[in-house]
Amino acid sequence: MKIGYLGTGAWAFALFALLASKGHKVVVWGRNKELIEKLSKTKEHPKLPGFPCSDSIEFTLDIKKALEGAEFVVEGVTGAGVRPVFSEAKKYLKPNIPIILTSKGIEQGTDLFLSDVLLDVLGPEYKPFVGCLSGPSLAIEILKKFPASVVGAAYEVDTTMRIQEAFSTPYFNVYPNTDIAGVELGGAMKNVIAIACGICTGMGFGDNTKAALMTRGWHEVRRLARHIGCDEATLNGLSGMADLCATCISPHSRNSRLGQLLAQGFDYKAAQAKIGMVIEGAYTCVSAWEMVQRAKIEAPIIEAVYRILQEGLSPRNAVRLLLEKDVKDERL
Contacts of 165 (CB under 8 A, 6+ apart): none
Q: At what angle do helices 300-311 and 280-294 cross, to 10 degrees?
A: 120
CA torsion, ordered 246, 212, 197, 81, to nearest 10 deg: 70
Q: Catalytic site residues?
A: 190
Helix residue spans in 10-156 (DSSP H): 10-21, 33-42, 63-67, 82-89, 114-122, 139-143
Contacts of 261 (CB under 8 A, 6+ apart): 198, 202, 270, 271, 274, 275
Contacts of 12 (CB under 8 A, 6+ apart): 5, 28, 76, 102
Single-letter amino acid code for the residue at 179: D
Contacts of 295 (CB under 8 A, 6+ apart): 223, 224, 227
Given strand 130-134, what is the order of strands in its sheet?
Answer: 58-60, 25-29, 2-6, 72-75, 99-101, 130-134, 148-154, 172-177
Do the beta carbons of residue 304 and residue 192 sit within 8 Å? no
